Amino acid sequence: MTIPGATTGGDGPAPDAVIRALSIKGFVTPQLLAPAVLTDEARLRPVLEHMAADGLVAPKGPMYQLTEAGKARGAELVTADRQRWGVDAATRALDALLTLDLRMKETVTAWQLRTVDGQQVINDHTDATYDANVLAGFAVLHADAAAWLEPLPAGLPRIEDYSVRLAHAADRVAAGEHAYIASPRLDSYHSIWFELHEDLIRLAGRTREDEVAAGRA
């Protein structure tokens, strides 16, 4: 599947884009990695093969992960991006994410669980009115997130990739493919959101552990 708006060209994604994605994902199948770098699996696989030959990635069963050389390159890329954008700008973006992140968590929880007789139960999606309200809230959240993201690529152009991916996932949800809200088996809205959050944490020179300890993640 090629995401609308992909800019990778016929030769597939740039190795640095693959390294950035793998540094956040850890290890992943080519099928799930492809949308993270705005391409399809057919274009991605030759790039992965070249990167494996160069010692940057290694297969782990059906999945791929960074080698030590790949991780070192990933650290270099984060440092370069941080210097380009500036720690202050990255920190402001991260701080602005926090309110939206709380709403994101509430939305995913509401989609997965609902309250019946005072008890939280698995949402079996038999209550159409309840689901419609959650989906309406999700649509508002996406509109607000898109507005927040819109100016950020002026400072760091690659952030635009997250806008493209989130819009694609939101469109699939609006089309009735509700697994695109939070399924880990798809390039779902929640999965993309987590990666964006992690990316901003690193760009701001922080760690997720630090953010959790401070009650910010």
Query: DSSP string spanning the chain?
Result: -PPTT----TT---HHHHHHHHHHH-EE-HHHHHHHTTS-HHHHHHHHHHHHHTTSEEEETTEEEE-HHHHHHHHHHHHHHHHHH-HHHHHHHHHHHHHHHHHHHHHHHHHHEEEETTEEEE--S--HHHHHHHHHHHHHHHHHHHHHHTTGGGT-GGGHHHHHHHHHHHHHHHTT-GGGGT-TTTT-HHHHHHHHHHHHHHHTT--HHHHHHTT--
pLDDT band at 216 (very low <50, low <70, confident <90, very high): confident
Q: What is the mean pLDDT of the chain?
A: 94
* Pair (102, 203) in one structural domain: yes
Per the domain annotation, does 1 fall within a domain?
A: no
pLDDT of residue 157: 97
For the cut 50, the answer to whether the pLDDT of residue 81 exceeds it is yes
- Assess whether 94 and 29 both reside in one domain: no
Query: pLDDT above 90 covers what percent of the chain?
Result: 90
In a shared domain, residues 55 and 158 = no
Q: How far apart are CA 141 and CA 159, in angstroms?
A: 18
**Predicted pLDDT at 12:** 87
Q: Is the pLDDT of residue 160 over 60?
A: yes
108 with 195, same domain? yes
Query: What digits encode the pLDDT tens for the residues 121-159?
Result: 999 999 999 999 999 999 999 999 999 999 999 999 999
- Do 92 and 172 fall into the same domain? yes
- pLDDT at position 3 over 50: no
Q: Tell me how far apart the alpha carbons of residues 121 and 56 are, in angstroms, rounded to a whole number.
A: 45
Per the domain annotation, does 3 fall within a domain? no
Indicate whether 5 belongs to any domain: no
Same structural domain for residues 72 and 152? no
pLDDT of residue 215: 86
| Cβ proximity of 11 and 22 under 8 Å | no
Q: Looking at 54, 76, 98, which one is the last position of a domain? A: 76
The tokens for 122 are: 């698995």
What is the pLDDT at residue 22? 98
Identify whether residues 105 and 201 lie together within a single domain: yes
Between 1 and 209, whose confidence is greater? 209
Residue ranges making up the domain that contains 72? 15-76
Q: What percent of the chain has pLDDT over 70?
A: 95
Cβ–Cβ under 8 Å, residues 168 and 191? no
Q: Is residue 126 part of a domain?
A: yes
Are residues 137 and 201 part of one domain? yes
Q: So what's the pLDDT on residue 49?
A: 96
User: Which residues lie across from 117 on neighbouring strands?
Assistant: none
CATH number of the domain encompassing residue 66: 1.10.10.10
* pLDDT value, residue 61: 93
Look at residue 11 in the predicted model and tell me its pLDDT: 75
Same domain? For 56 and 162 the reply is no
Determine how β-strand 119-122 pairs with β-strand 63-66: unpaired
Do 105 and 180 belong together in one domain?
Answer: yes
**Quick one: 52 and 120 in the same domain?**
no
Q: What is the dihedral of CA 167, 171, 174, 175, to 10 degrees?
A: -170
The whole-number pLDDT of residue 1 equals 40
How many domains, the chain?
2
Q: Which residue has the tokens 């609006």?
A: 174
- Asked if residue 5 has pLDDT above 90, the reply is no
The answer on 113 and 139 residing in a single domain is yes
Q: Model pTM?
A: 0.92
